[in-house]
Amino acid sequence: MSAERKLMLYPVENKLLLPFFKLAVFIIAIPLIFIFVPLRFIARKISKFFLFCLGKIKYQPKEKVGFFAKVYLALVKFFTFVAIFHPYRGENKFIAYIDSNITGEKVKAQSNRTFIFFLVPALGSFVVFVITPFLMGLIYSFTDWTGLNNGTEIWVGFANYKNIFSDFKFIYSFTRTTIYSVLNVIVINGVAFTLALLVTQNLKLKNIYRAGFFMPNLIGGLVLGYIWQFIYSNVFPALGAILGISTGIFDHSLIGAAATGREAMGALIGVVTWQYAGYIMMIYIAALQNVPQDLIEASKIDGANGIQRLRTIILPLVAQAFTISLFLTLVTSFKQYDTVQALTQGGPSGLIPPYLANFLDVPTWKSVNTLDLMAINIYETAFSHYKMGEGQAKAIVFFFILLIVSVAQVTYNQRKEVEL
């Protein structure tokens, strides 16, 4: 359907006004569906009941005069009017559209009412528990709210935003989060796709393997962090002492005070990959099972090896799965909090990298937590330093960063799908 033809279905003549018109119709439809339509239904049922009762009276006035005759005829006329649907026949296009698509008796109107009836509870919950707190947080980000001065906050404008962009710890947190997210996305998707290729082969116990690889995803982030904290801090060093190995993970804890930032990040990526790769694997399995086997068989007959089949047949056909998986892992990596909090509490400590110190013009002896990801940094600012307003400003900035990155990733991957 052309855009001009589609626009003719609505009582607006400007395409720019069409979204606002739809929003207005939706807002008006809510009270109509939940108040007017039920009251109309009840009124019709009551009218039909009274018409039934009046019909049982079997009173047939021979002359339309007299008091009782007039009352009887008036009641019959009134209840008949209420019981019968009367479509709008006026000239107002907006009311006619509402009547035809929302409150009318046509199949389309009934379908729209059903859709909105089921949508409103979920949408209402989203507005109450997501949109409203977000807007309140946006307002608080322009105040000096500490969490203890409720009702006496002072409007500080963009002061909180100026502070966070001049805070070297926040900039460092952003760089570490970016590095962690990129590495985490690559490792998780690489491991998940490899596992998916493995368990979609003709193996005897492939269903057991699938369940085993997926099992770690059922463990909560906090529990997972504490488990691996014990493994890194106690199990590996103990094994190193028993086996006489004093290098790598057997020498010292990868998350302890003696660990470097690279070791701690590698340990975190290993934990998150162990947890999340099985979940992403299931997405790739679903995509691989939809690859036509006749194409695979034809490529084998033509002499294509496994790598050629993977590059020219499998990867193009599972490109949509890569888009979804990359989006999920990217968003999850940026929002990583619970596992880091349980595993290292943002540590171990280290010095700010020289390149970042020179860029931010801060001394190189400044101490930072090497796993101080953005979610950890926001939490510490708000709840440890009681700077709720500044913490909320960081959360707003974090939201828009994540929004831009995720939209860019999805857009890029969708274009690559077409190219493949």
Instruction: Give 14-40 pLDDT, tens digit per residue.
Output: 677 777 878 888 888 888 888 888 888
Residues near 155 by Cβ (< 8 Å), separated by ≥ 6? 142, 143
Averaged pLDDT of the chain? 86
- Inter-residue contact 329 to 187 (CB < 8 Å): no
Determine the longest span between alpha carbons in the chain, in angstroms.
116
Instruction: Give 288-300 pLDDT, tens digit per residue.
Output: 998 888 888 888 8
- Inter-residue contact 308 to 295 (CB < 8 Å): no
Residue 404 — φ and ψ, nearest 5°? -65, -45
- Inter-residue contact 334 to 267 (CB < 8 Å): no
Burial class (CB in 10 A: 0-12, 13-18, 19+), 86: exposed
The span from the CA of 126 to the CA of 133, in Å, is 10
- Inter-residue contact 250 to 239 (CB < 8 Å): yes
Residues near 35 by Cβ (< 8 Å), separated by ≥ 6? none
How sure is the predictor about 4, in pLDDT bands with cuts at 50, 70 and 90? very low
Residues near 195 by Cβ (< 8 Å), separated by ≥ 6? 213, 277, 278, 281, 284
CA distance to 12, 97, 99, 267, 348, per residue, from 91 (Å): 14, 11, 12, 70, 72
Burial 319-341 (b: 16+ CB within 10 A, else e): bebbbbbbbbbbebbbebeebbb
Say if residue 221's pLDDT is above 90.
no
- Inter-residue contact 178 to 172 (CB < 8 Å): no
Average pLDDT over residues 323-327: 93
- Inter-residue contact 268 to 343 (CB < 8 Å): yes
Query: What pTM was estimated for this model as a whole?
Result: 0.80
Q: How many CB atoms lie within 10 A of CB 25?
A: 18
Instruction: Give 354-389 pLDDT, tens digit per residue.
Output: 888 888 888 888 889 889 999 999 999 999 889 999
pLDDT for residue 172: 92
- Inter-residue contact 393 to 164 (CB < 8 Å): yes
pLDDT for residue 184: 95
Poorest-confidence range of 72-81, 115-124, 283-292?
72-81
CA distance to 278, 296, 321, per residue, from 289 (Å): 16, 12, 12
Instruction: Give 335-348 pLDDT, tens digit per residue.
Output: 999 999 999 888 78
The span from the CA of 399 to the CA of 382, in Å, is 16
Q: Where do the domains of the chain lie, and which CATH numbers do they carry?
A: 3-134 (no CATH), 159-419 (1.10.3720.10)
Q: What is the DSSP letter of 270?
A: H
More confident of the two residues 2 and 228: 228
Burial class (CB in 10 A: 0-12, 13-18, 19+), 381: buried
Instruction: Give 65-104 pLDDT, tens digit per residue.
Output: 567 777 777 888 888 888 887 777 777 777 888 888 888 8
Residue 60 — φ and ψ, nearest 5°? -120, 95
Instruction: Give 391-401 pLDDT, tens digit per residue.
Output: 999 999 999 99
Say if residue 59's pLDDT is above 70.
no
More confident of the two residues 20 and 61: 20
pLDDT for residue 9: 54
**Rg over CA atoms, the chain:** 32
The span from the CA of 247 to the CA of 245, in Å, is 6
Say if residue 5's pLDDT is above 70.
no
The span from the CA of 366 to the CA of 89, in Å, is 76
- Inter-residue contact 342 to 224 (CB < 8 Å): yes
Poorest-confidence range of 1-15, 137-151, 332-346?
1-15
How sure is the predictor about 3, in pLDDT bands with cuts at 50, 70 and 90? very low
Instruction: Give 238-262 pLDDT, tens digit per residue.
Output: 888 888 877 777 777 888 887 888 8
- Inter-residue contact 184 to 273 (CB < 8 Å): yes
Average pLDDT over residues 165-183: 92
The counts of H helices and E strands in the chain are 21, 2
Average pLDDT over residues 223-249: 85
The span from the CA of 12 to the CA of 7, in Å, is 7
How sure is the predictor about 1, in pLDDT bands with cuts at 50, 70 and 90? very low
Q: What percent of the chain has pLDDT over 90?
A: 36
